[in-house]
Structure 1
Amino acid sequence: MMEVIFKEGSSVKKFFSPSVATKRGSMLRNISAAAFALLIVFFRCLPALAVAQIEDIRFETVSPNEERVVFRLNSPVLPNSFPMKDGSPRMVFDFNDTGVSKRIKNTLETKGTLIQRIRVGIHDNKTRVVLDLAPGRQTKSFKEPGASGTLLTVVVHDASVQPEPRKAAATAGTIWTPTAGKTPEVKPVVRLPEEKQVQTVTTAPPPVKVPEEPIVKPVAKPFSAAATVLTSVIFDKNSNRGEMVMFRLNKFHPPVVFGLEEKKPRVVCDFQDTAAGERLPENIPADGKFVRGIRISKEESGNKIRVVLDLAPSNNYDLQQVFFKNDNLFVLIINTLGSSATKKLN
């Protein structure tokens, strides 16, 4: 006979009913089995719930007039950024929906000539990184995503000096793959004093004096089904976020992006180790306010596709790069600094 106990306030009543006890025991066993099954499903799904994470932050001195901060992430994330000039000058980078590894210290003393300190903290659902800049120095900065999307280089240089020519931050085609069963560690919440945004992003690639390679016509060359292929380039001038250029590939493969300004402003996208799709044109009409033309060529000096965006002169441009890894899509959003669309993006 099973003892069933019901509590009512401070009194305890006992009932001895074999039939009721048997039914309740069966019900409890069923509930326990169902709960155990749900727990198994939950823990199997944990790796899929892993969030983006900053795994490493590295400071580099290129020259007395140029310093860099390199972020290594476990998945492609492009932060919002803005400068602060009230009090001590600094640059703020907000990585939305991103955690940070426990290995990264809250404060990194760089003692650079331009970047004196790096501070890391968590605000709600974002990780904020603040670069404390040297007072009295006029600086410029821009973001340079690596070809894999998981490396991001922030370049800070003296405003009166052109930055050093740069190579690609990562080997093209390298994609980070999470280890099965492991969830990235998220650092306990460490709150920095809330920074008030006073100015929009100033991350457009600065003019870089790079000899322009001649544009040549695409070369018909067979490629295997496993090769990276740029299948289409689409221009949209009617988006409320700015003028957009969308690059569709057969696999996730972001380009190396840089700016040129010798005779007229241009943005160059180099897709390394990439073949041109059969229907990819050489020229795409673009009668936008900012983008005036798009030229596509196969480079003879290497197995790559070069896409050149011809921009309207006499503007200061803000360039946003967005990655859609699951859709094999790379998007450039072109605005001018201080425009309403740029403020919406940040």
Structure 2
Amino acid sequence: MKLGIVLAVTIIGFCLFSPSILLAEKTNPVEIVSINHAKISADQETISFKLGAPVPVTMFAIKGERPRLVIDFPESIYRKKNLIPLPEGELAENIRIGLHKEPKSKARIVIDLSKNYAVDYKHSFTESENLLEVVLTRGAIAEKTVNIPQETEKAPVSNDVLPVKDEKTVISPGVDTNTIAPAVAATEEVKDAPPVVSEDNPSPAVQEISPGMPQLLEVSFDDSSNRGEMVLFHLNDFFPPTVSAIEKNNPRVLCDFPSMKLSSDVQKQIDAGGKYVESVRTAYHADKDMVRVVLDLSPDRDYDLQQVFFKNDNLFVLIVNELPSEKDAQ
């Protein structure tokens, strides 16, 4: 078996597709039919959720440097994109949707709130319409504590589509490991192999997260697109990973994010069950101060990987496809 890696890395200033969330494998889950945001005034906004049936939601707010409102819908699914930017919102900035299977199946909605104001909330449910409405109200001005990274610390990026690399590397049978160049080359040091860390036995996950630190906020899987099976990484800034491949009995792709912290919202294990991607595992390695995401791939296939970064959404996407056989390529 060969594992082909296409290092086609594209940086995009706007989203060209709508990645959807992996659907729950259960009988008759409740569907979240639609999510709508409305700005009522400078001091009030609403977010409404149209449901297929009533569900007992759980709602709580998280304060701090990254304030957010979390809503859990038990035994529920959402079939559309898992990131909804709110460019017109002043109290709410984004809506993120994730699917959690453990300990119980649920759809988790995370509303990223304004860092400039304290935001109060209340909610109501209209039973005749199966409509949950969340009302956000502006509070006092919040104290600024977030340190914004300097522009000089970023790789220079244009808002246009930039093809960074376009070459193909094939890992020959019998080779255990091979390091693939990072998504964006920054210094000569990136030529070295990734840190030797066991993805199965990560270091104790002790994290000290300070304002402005790079964070992996969410990982999700999507197999609904005709572009291929996608693993989506939502970050808090432009931090592309180093991608490498392991070819043994169980082929894997490793995405290493150096000097990265892991948000508590990230699902550590995703049982993807895709044609190509069997599972996605995420762990923080304290001894290397890095986050590693492992894609367990189906064996006996030749794979083709594409990397895309949606700059405005801080969204890195790994697209997995199968390479055509030599016979088909002729």
| TM-score grouping bracket, smaller chain normalisation | 0.3 to 0.5
Q: So what's the TM-score if we normalise by structure 2? A: 0.42
The structure where helix makes up a greater share of residues is: 1
Q: So what's the TM-score if we normalise by structure 1? A: 0.41
